Amino acid sequence: MRRIHVGNALGAFGLGFTVPFLYVYVAQVRGLGSMTAGIVLAVFAVAALVVLPFAGRAIVRRGPLPVLLAALVTAAFGALSLGLAGSATTVLLSAAALGAGQAVMQPALATMIVDCSTAETRSRAFATQFFLQNLGLGVGGLIGGHIVDPTRASSFILLFSIEAAMFLLLVVIMATVRMPHAPKVEGAPRAKGGSWKQLLGNRAMVQLSVLGFVLFFACYGQFESGLSAYGVEAAGISTSALGTAMAANTAMIVVAQFAVLKFVERRKRSRVIAGVGLIWAVAWLAAGYAGLGHGSQTMATAAFVSTYALFGLGEAMLSPTVAPLVADLAPTGMAGQYNSAFALVKQLALAVGPAVGGPMGASLHGPYIVTFLLFSLGITFLAVRLGRQLTPVQNQPSLAKSRVVAQGGAPAEPVPASA
């Protein structure tokens, strides 16, 4: 598990290390223009959408470790060739390889976490993963920003070479992992028939996928597009204040993650997700005040930063909740398929979110806030509805431990759940 978490951290580090500087690299350093740079960023999302449906089947058939190693080699090749690319065609092909490799890493690593954990330890494992991912993104962006120099192409070659070397190092580390097989959560269904047909026949998983799309569309899909455009255009937020807001989001996750975990572990997952919807509704109200209220600029900035901080609190609550639930809904041997399907839903939301929210946030300020306020309340509604499809143990894994203890006690003296 420690090696898997190292993999998560280094994968996130690579993402933060290079992706924020891709636009500058393609448009300015290589002189390929803003249009090509925009297409390169879109290629990352398209590559993920193309490979993820096949990644799930490969993980089920071959296991997560071989798929992860193949993804790491592909990403390393993409990163190195991107640093050396000089033409638009080479840049696009290299970006596709890097994007595909990074996309497949997510469900492969998530499946490895499932195989190395039990229903009782899974929430903490995924919370640790999310914590390390955010830490890796932040550290990667910080170090990468100090390495690159738009006036020197060699600095970007160094940047992408370091990323490629890091992926190859990760291949060596992960090749030493020996995967156990974890027991399944009580009440999980067994696989029947074709993988995709079986998945679509799982009503709880379908509802969770719809809920996941709304979660990623209404939060992550707005961070760097609609919400930032709204902050600049409607609230008059400066670029430095926007950076402060992003930092507040990350700081909230880092500070609150394990404190929130203790709160979440003993509560129903559906209620936790419903609570996130309410928290995010408050966040959108704060954003509405920042841009549509009549307070001072200082108050508007404080409200806008609070919006990002509240989103971070919700994210910290979701990390030990949603990903473990995907794993617990998967039949035996199907965790890779379910993780890949959910990753595909996430990528779709991240592709649609900016396309819808960007123009709205920039020009339709009132409708933008109202729309995503309603989406947040929709999260609460969908979470409550999902709870009716879950078994008691799927919804609250701590019950499994309580039942085991109770079954081992004397019938005449039932052991309380807190035991």
For the segment 27-70, what is each residue's pLDDT rounded down to a tens digit? 888 888 878 877 887 788 788 888 888 888 888 888 888 999 99
Query: Are the C-beta atoms of 251 and 316 separated by less than 8 Å?
Result: no
SS3 of the chain: CHHHHHHHHHHHHHHHHHHHHHHHHHHHHCCCHHHHHHHHHHHHHHHHHHHHHHHHHHHHHHCHHHHHHHHHHHHHHHHHHHHHCCCHHHHHHHHHHHHHHHHHHHHHHHHHHHHCCCCCCHHHHHHHHHHHHHHHHHHHHHHHHHHCCCCCHHHHHHHHHHHHHHHHHHHHHHCCCCCCCCCCCCCCCCCCCCHHHHHHCCHHHHHHHHHHHHHHHHCHHHHCCHHHHHHHHCCCCCHHHHHHHHHHHHHHHHHHHHHHHHHHCCCCHHHHHHHHHHHHHHHHHHHHHHHHCCCCHHHHHHHHHHHHHHHHHHHHHHCCCHHHHHHHHCCCCCHHHHHHHHHHHHHHHHHHHHHHHHHHHHHCHHHHHHHHHHHHHHHHHHHHHHHCCCCHHHHCCHHHHHHHHHHHCCCCCCCCCCC
* 160-202 residue pLDDT tens: 888 898 899 889 888 888 876 544 444 444 444 446 777 788 8
The rounded distance, in Å, linking the Cα atoms of 286 and 305 is 9
Segment 312-340 shows an average pLDDT of 86
Segment 364-385 shows an average pLDDT of 92
* 229-256 residue pLDDT tens: 888 788 888 767 777 887 788 888 888 8
Q: Please say if the pLDDT value at position 17 is more than 80.
A: no
Residue 31, sorted as left (phi over 0), alpha (psi -120 to 50) or beta, turns out to be left
Residue 14: pLDDT band by 50, 70, 90 thresholds?
confident
Q: Tell me the longest C-alpha to C-alpha distance in the chain.
A: 79
The rounded distance, in Å, linking the Cα atoms of 115 and 68 is 14
Percent of the chain having pLDDT more than 70?
90
Query: Are the C-beta atoms of 58 and 42 separated by less than 8 Å?
Result: no
- Name the most confidently modeled range: 235-239, 261-265, 320-324: 320-324
Of residues 7 and 314, the one with the higher pLDDT is 314
The rounded distance, in Å, linking the Cα atoms of 97 and 122 is 31
Both structure tokens of 60: 């089920």
Q: Please say if the pLDDT value at position 203 is more than 60.
A: yes
Of residues 417 and 169, the one with the higher pLDDT is 169
Residue 206: pLDDT band by 50, 70, 90 thresholds?
very high
How would you label 85-105 residue by residue, b for 16+ Cβ within 10 Å and e otherwise? beebeebbbbbbbbbbbbbbb
Segment 264-281 shows an average pLDDT of 91
What pLDDT was estimated at residue 400? 67
The rounded distance, in Å, linking the Cα atoms of 339 and 358 is 28
Round to the nearest angstrom and report the end-to-end CA distance of the chain: 27
* 126-136 residue pLDDT tens: 888 888 887 88
How would you label 277-311 residue by residue, b for 16+ Cβ within 10 Å and e otherwise? bebbbbbbbbbbbbbeeeeeeeebbbbbbbbbbbb
